[in-house]
C-alpha cells in the first residue's frame, strides 16, 4: 500500500468524470434475472441441421437434388403414362407396323398417320423409335431405371461389405488388421474387367434362372456384375472406413466408453459408426455414379444387361451402328448418363462440403 | 484392508516400440509404481508430459493390459475378467472436454450411457430422472439435456464428463488432467465441484495434473513422477514445504506463482536440458542426467522409494 | 506508464479488429489502447476469446482471411502502420517486430532442416549471405542456449524436443534483432521445468538485447514472473492496465479481482477457491454493457446497459469498471 500514500484523499476519478450525469439508481445491484437476459445461449443446432443448412446454401448440390428427383419421379411415373412397353414392337390395330422403323422424334410412321387421319389417336414417339420398331422414349426411361437400380444396389452391396469389413479391420487392429488389409491389397490388384468377363462366362454356364423371372430378364451378365461389385469394389470403401475408424478410435470418447464398461459391439454401433456416417454418405453418393458408369461401360461393350432389357449403356451401343443417320439415338442415353453421373458427383461434393467435419470453419 | 480402497503394487506398463525393421524396444511408460488410496482420499499425481502419469491412470482401469504388477480394488484383484464389473466403481474424467464427448450424442445420452451399459435403470422415466438429477449435481441446466455436447463451453463439457463418471455411482475416479484444458476463470469452478462431490459422496480421486498449485489445492497427498517412476510421495503440505528429491525441488521452484513479489524474490532452480527419451533411459537413477547432485552411485543403481519418516517417501541416494 | 507526450515505441490507439464469419461479425478486439516503451515487458492476459492474440496479430497484420482491422491506429515510433505497404510491412515484421507462437511444432516446416529454415530468415532480413549467414545462424542458436549448434542445424524439427523447438523459434525471431518481440503463449505447450527455462531465456535476451517484449498469455503466474506492465483483457476490451504490482495487489476491475481469487495460490491452499460464476461469453452475442457483467457478482444496473470507460486510478493504473465510478459517485455525493 506504501505507494498509494501520496494520493489525495478525494477519489481521483471525480476529476475525470462528470459524476452529475449518474444517478444512484444506476448503481443499484443488478438482479440475476437482469443478468441472465444479457446472457444468451446460441440457438441449438444439431450436426445434421447444420449440415443441411450448409447444403441448402450450395446451389450446385441443390440443383443436382432437383435433377435427380425429377429423374426419379420420371422413371417411376412415365412408364405408366406412355402406352408402350420397352420390348413392345409397335403395331397399329393389332397389325405390326413395319414402317415405324428408325423414326425421328415426334414423327409418326405411315401406318400411324393413316390411323390418325381415320380419327384414332396415337401417343407421340417423343424420342422416335429404334430399328426394331420400339418406342425409344420408353426404352430410354427403362434404361435409366435399370442403370439407376444397378447403381443403387451395387453401391448398397459395396457399402454393406465395405462397412463390415472396414469396421472389423479398423476396430480390432493389430495383426488382424494387417492380414485383412493385405487381402484388400490383393483384391485391389486384380484387373476388374478381366474378372467380370471371366465371371460372366462362368456364371453363364452355371446359373440357370426360371425363365420369365426378373433375374433371367436381367441376364447372367448383370448377375455377374453384381457379384463382381460385391467382390471387388468394396475394397475402396473398406479402406476408407478402416482409416476413419482408426482415427475415431483415438478419440477420448471411445476410451471413455471403454472406461464406462461398454462392449466393443456397442462402441462400434453407438460411437464409431455414427461418427463415420458423413464419410459413408459421401462415399456412397460418389459410389453410385461410378457403378452406373461401370454398368454402362459393360453394357456398351456387350456384356451388360441381356436384350431386350435396355440399359443406358446397351442403348448407346445399339445406337452406334446408325450413328451417322440417327445421332439422336446415341445422344439421348449418353445425355442421361451424363446428367445422372454429374448430378451424383455434384451432390457428393456438396455433401462432403456440408458434412465433412474436417472441412469445418 | 478397510482403509485402502485402491492398492497399486509394482505396476509396470511397457509398450513395444518399433525402432528398426525387426527391432522392438520396450518403452517403459510406467516402471514399478506402487501406491494406495484410501476411501474418500485424493492422491495427486504430478509430473511432466511423458512421465507416465496418464498411463498409470489408464492401467489402473485396465484400459491397457499391465505388463506387470497388480491393482487391488476393495481388496479384490482387478483382472481382465472382472474389469467390466469393476468399471462401475472405478471411473475416469478426461483431460480434453472436446474429444472426450461423442459429438453425435445428446447430453442425455452421454450421461445415460453408463446407466444403459450396466442396466442400472429399469424404466425410461427412472433413467431420465436419474440423468436430470446428475445434471443438477454437476450444475448443469436440466433444460439442456437434449442438446449436443458441442453446443457447450469447455467448462460445461467437463461437467458433462463428470456427470457421466458419476452416473454409475463409483467409489473412485481417475481424474486425468481435468482442468488443464479449461480457461483460468473456469478452472476454479471445476476444482470446487470435485471437492464438493468428494465431501458429499465420499469418492476417492487419483488427481493427475501437471499444475502443482492445482494439485496441491485439491490433494491430501502428492506423488511426483519422473520417467515412469515415483520419485517422491508425501502429504501435500509436507512436499511443498520440504521437498527432498532434487527433481521435486526444481519442479516446485519452476511453478509460476501468481504473485509478483514472491515470484521475483524467490530463486528458480533451473533444470539443465530436456527429459531423456524413455527409449534411451539412463542407467541407474533416471533423473541423474539433469541432477546437480548426481554421483557415480546414481549411475550404477536405481534408488528405491524409501520412507524418511511421516510417510514421506523419497527415491534418492542423497539425504 | 506515465501519461505524457513522449513518443512510444509502439502505441496502439483504440484498435478494433473484427472477423466476418458465416454467423455474423465477431468483434474480437473492441477498442484496445496501450503503449510500449523500449525495453519494457508488457503482459497481455486474458482467457480464450478475450482478444489477446488477435491484438498481437493485428499489430503484425497477420490476421486470418476473415479478419480485418476496422478501426484505430497502431503507431510504431510515431509512424502509422496502416500507411505501410505490404512490402514495408514485411520489413517491419522481421526488423522491427517479431512474433513467436504457442506451438513450436506447427510453426516450423517439418521437411526442412533447422539450419536451412533459420538461414532463410537471416538471408531475408539481413545482408549476410553464404558462410556469413551460416555463422549468424550458429551465433543465434548459441544465443538461445542450444548446445552443439553445428550439429543442430542439420537436424529436422521432429528430432528436437518441444523446448528446443521453441528456442529455435526464438532464435529465428531474433535473426535481425527486432525492437519488439511478441510472444504469443510461448510456454503453454511446454512442461513446467521447460517453461521456466524458456521464460528465463526470454528475460535474459530482453536484458541483453534491450528489446521490448509483449507477452500474451492466460497464465497469471507467468505474468507475475515476467512483466513490468500488465494489460488485462476480457471480451475484446481492456479491463485494466497498469504495473504488475498494481494489478496483482490492488486490482480495480471485478474480473481481475475474481480471477485472482479463483486461482490456487500459496496463500489459499486450505480454503475453498472462489470461482467466477457462469461461462465464457459468446462473442457472437455480446452483452450491451460491460462484457463481464453477466458473470460479475457485483454487477449493477448500469453495467448491463453501458460500456464502462477506462479511467485513471493513479499514475500507474487505469481500469474500466463501473464499480470505481460508483465509489467516486458515493464519495462525491458526500462532499458536495
pLDDT tens, residue by residue, C57-85: 999 888 888 888 998 989 998 888 888 88
Spatial separation of the C-alpha atoms in residues B292 and B273, rounded to whole Å:
12
Query: Chains that contact A by 3+ CB pairs under 8 Å?
Result: B, C
Spatial separation of the C-alpha atoms in residues B293 and B248, rounded to whole Å:
13
Rounded to the nearest 10 degrees, how much is the dihedral formed by the CA atoms of C158, C160, C161, C166?
-100
Q: What residues have CB less than 8 Å from A334, skipping those under 6 apart?
A: A312, A316
| Exposed/middle/buried for residue A186 (C-beta within 10 Å: 0-12, 13-18, 19+) | exposed
Is domain B6-89+170-314 classified as CATH 3.40.50.300? yes
Contact yes or no for C304/C291 (Cβ under 8 A): no
The DSSP bridge partners found for residue C11 are C35, C75
* pLDDT above 70: percentage of residues in chain C: 97
What pLDDT band is residue B312 in, cutting at 50, 70 and 90? Answer: very high
What pLDDT band is residue B1 in, cutting at 50, 70 and 90? Answer: very low
Q: What is the pLDDT of residues B242-279, one digit of tens each?
A: 999 999 998 888 888 888 888 888 877 888 777 788 78
Q: What is the pLDDT of residue C17?
A: 92
The DSSP bridge partners found for residue B314 are B232, B306
What mean pLDDT comes out for the span C273-290?
82
Quote the mean pLDDT of chain C: 86
Assigned C-alpha cell, A126: 417423343
Domain residues of chain B, as ranges? 6-89+170-314, 102-169
Q: What is the pLDDT of residue A209?
A: 67
Contact yes or no for A254/B96 (Cβ under 8 A): no
How many angstroms separate the Cα of A67 from the Cα of each of A61, A64, A140, A148, C105?
A: 10, 5, 16, 14, 47
Spatial separation of the C-alpha atoms in residues B247 and B244, rounded to whole Å:
8
Nearest chain A residue to B102 by CA: give it.
Answer: A253
Residue C331 reports pLDDT greater than 80: no
How many angstroms separate the Cα of C25 from the Cα of each of A126, C19, C50, C67, C304?
A: 54, 6, 16, 10, 21
Q: Are strands B221-226 and B229-235 parallel, antiparallel or unpaired?
A: antiparallel
Chain B residues with CB under 8 Å of a chain C CB are: 48-49, 153-156, 183-189, 191-192, 195, 210-214, 216-217, 236-237, 240, 250-251, 253-264, 268, 270-271, 274-275
N-terminal to C-terminal alpha carbon distance within chain A: 49
Q: What is the pLDDT of residues C158-216, one digit of tens each?
A: 888 888 888 898 888 888 888 999 999 888 878 888 888 889 899 999 999 889 999 99
Spatial separation of the C-alpha atoms in residues A304 and A333, rounded to whole Å:
15
Q: What is the pLDDT of residues B149-162, one digit of tens each?
A: 877 888 888 999 99
Residue B215 reports pLDDT greater than 70: yes
Contact yes or no for B89/B171 (Cβ under 8 A): yes
Spatial separation of the C-alpha atoms in residues A323 and A330, rounded to whole Å:
7
Domain residues of chain A, as ranges? 65-74+134-355
Closest CA to B44 of B227, B214, B243: B214
Which of A5, A7, A15, A22 to probe the C interface (max C CBs under 10 A)? A22
Quote the mean pLDDT of chain B: 88
How many angstroms separate the Cα of B267 from the Cα of each of B105, B249, B253, C226?
A: 50, 11, 7, 14
Query: Cβ contact (<8 Å) for B213 and C264?
Result: yes
| Closest CA of chain C from B217, distance in Å | 5
Q: What is the pLDDT of residue B2?
A: 54
Q: What is the pLDDT of residue C310?
A: 87
Q: What is the pLDDT of residue C2?
A: 44
Assigned C-alpha cell, C24: 455474423
Spatial separation of the C-alpha atoms in residues B160 and C35, rounded to whole Å:
42
Assigned C-alpha cell, A84: 408402350
On the CB side of A23, CA atoms within 13 Å amount to 3
- SS3 call for B77: strand
| Closest CA of chain C from B152, distance in Å | 9
Q: Which residue has the cell 468524470?
A: A17
Reported ipTM? 0.83
Sign of the torsion angle spanned by Cα atoms C62, C63, C66, C67: negative
What CATH code is assigned to A65-74+134-355? 1.10.3720.10
Q: What residues have CB less than 8 Å from B124, skipping those under 6 apart?
A: none
Instruction: Report, as ranges of residue numbers, the positions in chain A whose pLDDT lies below 50.
Output: 1-10, 359-361
| Closest CA of chain C from A57, distance in Å | 11
How many angstroms separate the Cα of B99 from the Cα of each of A252, A254, A344, B90?
A: 5, 9, 33, 21
Which of A37, A39, A41 to probe the C interface (max C CBs under 10 A)? A39
Closest CA to A244 of A282, A211, A215, A208: A282
Q: What is the pLDDT of residue A212?
A: 67
Q: Are strands B42-46 and B221-226 parallel, antiparallel or unpaired?
A: parallel
Assigned C-alpha cell, B238: 509436507
**Contacts C194 to B, Cβ<8 Å:** 48, 274
Spatial separation of the C-alpha atoms in residues B141 and B107, rounded to whole Å:
11
Dihedrals phi, psi of A266, to nearest 5 degrees: -65, -40
Spatial separation of the C-alpha atoms in residues B215 and B207, rounded to whole Å:
7
Query: Cβ contact (<8 Å) for C280 and B189?
Result: no
What mean pLDDT comes out for the span C282-299?
83
Closest CA to C244 of C261, C260, C231: C231
Contact yes or no for B291/B212 (Cβ under 8 A): no
Please report the DSSP string for A85-145 in residue order: -TTPPPEETTEE-TT-SSPPTT---HHHHHHHHTT------TT-B-TTS-BHHHHHHHHHH
The DSSP bridge partners found for residue C79 are C76
- SS3 call for B123: coil
What pLDDT band is residue C332 in, cutting at 50, 70 and 90? Answer: low
Query: Cβ contact (<8 Å) for B257 and C244?
Result: no
Q: What is the pLDDT of residue B194?
A: 93
What pLDDT band is residue B6 in, cutting at 50, 70 and 90? Answer: very high
Query: Chains that contact B by 3+ CB pairs under 8 Å?
Result: A, C
What mean pLDDT comes out for the span C140-160?
87
Closest partner residue to C265 among B155, B211, B258, by Cβ? Answer: B258
- SS3 call for C11: strand
- SS3 call for B54: helix
How many angstroms separate the Cα of B270 from the Cα of each of B251, B265, C169?
A: 9, 15, 20
Q: What is the pLDDT of residues C87-113, one digit of tens each?
A: 888 888 888 898 998 877 778 888 899
Q: What is the pLDDT of residue A7?
A: 41
What mean pLDDT comes out for the span C319-335?
78
Query: Cβ contact (<8 Å) for C300 and A17?
Result: no
* Between residues C16 and B281, the one the model is more confident about: C16
Closest partner residue to B61 among A259, A262, A357, by Cβ? Answer: A259
Please report the DSSP string for A228-240 in residue order: HIIIIIHHHHHHH
Spatial separation of the C-alpha atoms in residues B269 and B106, rounded to whole Å:
48
| Closest CA of chain C from A240, distance in Å | 26
What mean pLDDT comes out for the span C5-20?
87
Q: Are strands C180-184 and C97-100 parallel, antiparallel or unpaired?
A: parallel
Amino acid at each position: 500500500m506504501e505507494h498509494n500514500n501520496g494520493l489525495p484523499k478525494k477519489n481521483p476519478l471525480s476529476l475525470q468524470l462528470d459524476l452529475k450525469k449518474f444517478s444512484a439508481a444506476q448503481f443499484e445491484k443488478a438482479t440475476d434475472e437482469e443478468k441472465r437476459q444479457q446472457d444468451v445461449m446460441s440457438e441449438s443446432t444439431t450436426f445434421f441441421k447444420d449440415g443441411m443448412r450448409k447444403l441448402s446454401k450450395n446451389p450446385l448440390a441443390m440443383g443436382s437434388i432437383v435433377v435427380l428427383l425429377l429423374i426419379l419421379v420420371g422413371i417411376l411415373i412415365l412408364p405408366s403414362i406412355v402406352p408402350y412397353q420397352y420390348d413392345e414392337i409397335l403395331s397399329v390395330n393389332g397389325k405390326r407396323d413395319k414402317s415405324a422403323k428408325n423414326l425421328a422424334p415426334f414423327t409418326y410412321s405411315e401406318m400411324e398417320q393413316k390411323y390418325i387421319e381415320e380419327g384414332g389417336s396415337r401417343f407421340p414417339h417423343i424420342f422416335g423409335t429404334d430399328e426394331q420398331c420400339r418406342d425409344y422414349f420408353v426404352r430410354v426411361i427403362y434404361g435409366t431405371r435399370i442403370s439407376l437400380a444397378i447403381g443403387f444396389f451395387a453401391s448398397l452391396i459395396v457399402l454393406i461389405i465395405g462397412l463390415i469389413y472396414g469396421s472389423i479391420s479398423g476396430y480390432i487392429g493389430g495383426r488382424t488388421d494387417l492380414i485383412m488389409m493385405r487381402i484388400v491389397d490383393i483384391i485391389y490388384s486384380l484387373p476388374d474387367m478381366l474378372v467380370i468377363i471371366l465371371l460372366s462366362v462362368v456364371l453363364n454356364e452355371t446359373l440357370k434362372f426360371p425363365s420369365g423371372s426378373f433375374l433371367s430378364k436381367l441376364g447372367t451378365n448383370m448377375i455377374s456384375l453384381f457379384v463382381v461389385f460385391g467382390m471387388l469394389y468394396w475394397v475402396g470403401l473398406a479402406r476408407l472406413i478402416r482409416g476413419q475408424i482408426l482415427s475415431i478410435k483415438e478419440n477420448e470418447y471411445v476410451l471413455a466408453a471403454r472406461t464406462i464398461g461398454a462392449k466393443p459391439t456397442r462402441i462400434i454401433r453407438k460411437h464409431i459408426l455414427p461418427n463415420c456416417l458423413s464419410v459413408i454418405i459421401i462415399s456412397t453418393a460418389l459410389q453410385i455414379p461410378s457403378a452406373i458408369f461401370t454398368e454402362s461401360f459393360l453394357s456398351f461393350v456387350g456384356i451388360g444387361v441381356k436384350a431386350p432389357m435396355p440399359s443406358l449403356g446397351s442403348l448407346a451401343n445399339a445406337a452406334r451402328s446408325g450413328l451417322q443417320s440417327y445421332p439422336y439415338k446415341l445422344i439421348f442415353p449418353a445425355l442421361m448418363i451424363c446428367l445422372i453421373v454429374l448430378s451424383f458427383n455434384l451432390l457428393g461434393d456438396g455433401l462432403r462440403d456440408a458434412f465433412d467435419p474436417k472441412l469445418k470453419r | 484392508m478397510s482403509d485402502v480402497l485402491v492398492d497399486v503394487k509394482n505396476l509396470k506398463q511397457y509398450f513395444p516400440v518399433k525402432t528398426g525393421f525387426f527391432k522392438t524396444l520396450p518403452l517403459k511408460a510406467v516402471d514399478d509404481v506402487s501406491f494406495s488410496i484410501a476411501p474418500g482420499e485424493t492422491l495427486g499425481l504430478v509430473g511432466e508430459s511423458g512421465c507416465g502419469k496418464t498411463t498409470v491412470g489408464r492401467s489402473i482401469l485396465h484400459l491397457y493390459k499391465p505388463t506387470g504388477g497388480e491393482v487391488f480394488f476393495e481388496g479384490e484383484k482387478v483382472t481382465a475378467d472382472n474389469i467390466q464389473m469393476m468399471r462401475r466403481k472405478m471411473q475416469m474424467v478426461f483431460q480434453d472436454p472436446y474429444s472426450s464427448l461423442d459429438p453425435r450424442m445428446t447430453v442425455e445420452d452421454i450421461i445415460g450411457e453408463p446407466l444403459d451399459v450396466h442396466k442400472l435403470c429399469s424404466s425410461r422415466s427412472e433413467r431420465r430422472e436419474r440423468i436430470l438429477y446428475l445434471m443438477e449435481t454437476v450444475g448443469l441446466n436440466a433444460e439442456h439435456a437434449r442438446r449436443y455436447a458441442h453446443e457447450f463451453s469447455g467448462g460445461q463439457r467437463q461437467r458433462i464428463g463428470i456427470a457421466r463418471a458419476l452416473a454409475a455411482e463409483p467409489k473412485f475416479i481417475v481424474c486425468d488432467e481435468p482442468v488443464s484444458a479449461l480457461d483460468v476463470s473456469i478452472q476454479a469452478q471445476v476444482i470446487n465441484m470435485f471437492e464438493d462431490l468428494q465431501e458429499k459422496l465420499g469418492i476417492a480421486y487419483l488427481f493427475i495434473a501437471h499444475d502443482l498449485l492445482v494439485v496441491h489445492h485439491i490433494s491430501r497427498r502428492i506423488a511426483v513422477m519422473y520417467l515412469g517412476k515415483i520419485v517422491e510421495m508425501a502429504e501435500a503440505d509436507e512436499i511443498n514445504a520440504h521437498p527432498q528429491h532434487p527433481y521435486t525441488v526444481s519442479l516446485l521452484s519452476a511453478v509460476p506463482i501468481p504473485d509478483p513479489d514472491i515470484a521475483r524474490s524467490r530463486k528458480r532452480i533451473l533444470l539443465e536440458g530436456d527429459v531423456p527419451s524413455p527409449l534411451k533411459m539412463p542407467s541407474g537413477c533416471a533423473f541423474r542426467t539433469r541432477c546437480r547432485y548426481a554421483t557415480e552411485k546414481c549411475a550404477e543403481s536405481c534408488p528405491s522409494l524409501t520412507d524418511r519418516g511421516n510417510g514421506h517417501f523419497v527415491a534418492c541416494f542423497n539425504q | 506508464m506515465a501519461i505524457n507526450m513522449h513518443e512510444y515505441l509502439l502505441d496502439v490507439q483504440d484498435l478494433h479488429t473484427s472477423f466476418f464469419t458465416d454467423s455474423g461479425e465477431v468483434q474480437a478486439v473492441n477498442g484496445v489502447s496501450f503503449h510500449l516503451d523500449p525495453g519494457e515487458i508488457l503482459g497481455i492476459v486474458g482467457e480464450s476469446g478475450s482478444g489477446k492474440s488477435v491484438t498481437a496479430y493485428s499489430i503484425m497484420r497477420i490476421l486470418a482471411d476473415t479478419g480485418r482491422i476496422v478501426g484505430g491506429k497502431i503507431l510504431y515510433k510515431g509512424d502509422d502502420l496502416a500507411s505501410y505497404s505490404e512490402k514495408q510491412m514485411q520489413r517491419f515484421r522481421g526488423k522491427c517486430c517479431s512474433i513467436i507462437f504457442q506451438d513450436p511444432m506447427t510453426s516450423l516446416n517439418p521437411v526442412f532442416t533447422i539450419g536451412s529454415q533459420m538461414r532463410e530468415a537471416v538471408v531475408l532480413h539481413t545482408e549476410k549471405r553464404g558462410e556469413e549467414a551460416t555463422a549468424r545462424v550458429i551465433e543465434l542458436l548459441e544465443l538461445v542456449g542450444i548446445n552443439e549448434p553445428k550439429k543442430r542445424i542439420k537436424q529436422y524439427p521432429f528430432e528436437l524436443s518441444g523446448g528446443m523447438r521453441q528456442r529455435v523459434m526464438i532464435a529465428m525471431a531474433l535473426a535481425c534483432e527486432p525492437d519488439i518481440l511478441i510472444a504469443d503463449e510461448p510456454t503453454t505447450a511446454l512442461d513446467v521445468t521447460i517453461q521456466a527455462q524458456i521464460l528465463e531465456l526470454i528475460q535474459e535476451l530482453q536484458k541483453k538485447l534491450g528489446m521490448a517484449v509483449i507477452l500474451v498469455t492466460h497464465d497469471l503466474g507467468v505474468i507475475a514472473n515476467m512483466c513490468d506492465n500488465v494489460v488485462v483483457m476480457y471480451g475484446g476490451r481492456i479491463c485494466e492496465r497498469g504495473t504488475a504490482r498494481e494489478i496483482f495487489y490492488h486490482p480495480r476491475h471485478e474480473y481481475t479481482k475474481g480471477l485472482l481469487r479463483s486461482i490456487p495460490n500459496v496463500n489459499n491452499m486450505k480454503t475453498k477457491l472462489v470461482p467466477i460464476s457462469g461461462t465464457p461469453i459468446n462473442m457472437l452475442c455480446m452483452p450491451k454493457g460491460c462484457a463481464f457483467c453477466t458473470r460479475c457478482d457485483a454487477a449493477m444496473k448500469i453495467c448491463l446497459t453501458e460500456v464502462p470507460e477506462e479511467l485513471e486510478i493513479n499514475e500507474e493504473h487505469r481500469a474500466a469498471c463501473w464499480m470505481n465510478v460508483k465509489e467516486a459517485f458515493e464519495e462525491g455525493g458526500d462532499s458536495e
